[in-house]
Amino acid sequence: MKTDDLIRGLSSDRATGMAMGRAWTLALALAIVAAGAVFFATMGPRPDFGAAAETSRFVFKFFVTGALAATAWLTVKRLSTPGGGERALLPLLVAPAMLIAAVLIELSVIPPDQIGMRLVGKNAAICLVAIPAIGLLPLAIFFAALRHGAPDRPQLAGLVAGILAGGVAASFYAAHCTDDSPLFVIVWYSLAIAVLGVAGALAGRMAARW
């Protein structure tokens, strides 16, 4: 029997309890509930949430984090079964492309002396702690879903699971963060999400092996 056939056979055996699509849908729902519970228990929305929701930069943060979470979810579903290669990663380019475009627009309209202030913001340290903290339980839930499958590239699958957890966490944290500039988001949100991505990759070989 060829190696690929063996892996697919093992994947089928592992998936007898629940179909992979259903498992990942359930995992995403549980992760959102878990992240929301941590978020509302620890920080909650910013005081001016209603007024901020009328501004395009604030709303855009949710488009970016939501796009990242959605594309990471689709990607990790593909990677949780054998055969998911580099092409499975292409959807992950959507959110960065959106954010880079927003940064270029912002740089074209703001005075140069405001760039540093908007990039550093007021909440960098909070962002670097809050997003990984909110994403920790979702990451554990996503690894449970990975163990239900049979990823043939567990470290890569773990990395994407971490990015997914980061996207979910960042979507909640964005409601609290008062730094709405794309310049802030592209630096600090990315670094915070990368923490979960690295953690997922490091844990992937052990937690996601079949």
Q: And the tokens for 1?
A: 């029997």
| Domain extents in the chain | 20-207
Q: What's the confidence (pLDDT) of residue 55?
A: 96
Which tokens is 198 given? 């690295």
Q: How far apart are CA 1 and CA 4, in angstroms?
A: 8
Residue 177 zone, left/alpha/beta (φ > 0; ψ -120 to 50; rest): beta
Q: Given pLDDT bands bounded at 50, 70 and 90, which one contains residue 4?
A: very low
pLDDT at 158 > cutoff 80 = yes
Instruction: State the helix-helix crossing angle for 154-173 and 190-207, rounded to 10 degrees.
Output: 140
Query: What local confidence, expressed as pLDDT, does residue 87 receive?
Result: 73
Q: State the pTM of this model.
A: 0.88
> What is the average pLDDT score of the chain?
89
Confidence (pLDDT) at 21: 79
- 100's CB contacts (< 8 A; 6+ apart) are 186
Confidence tier at 207 by pLDDT (50, 70, 90): low
Q: Angle, to 10 degrees, between the axis of helix 154-173 and the axis of helix 56-79?
A: 160
The DSSP 8-state label assigned to residue 112 in this structure reads G
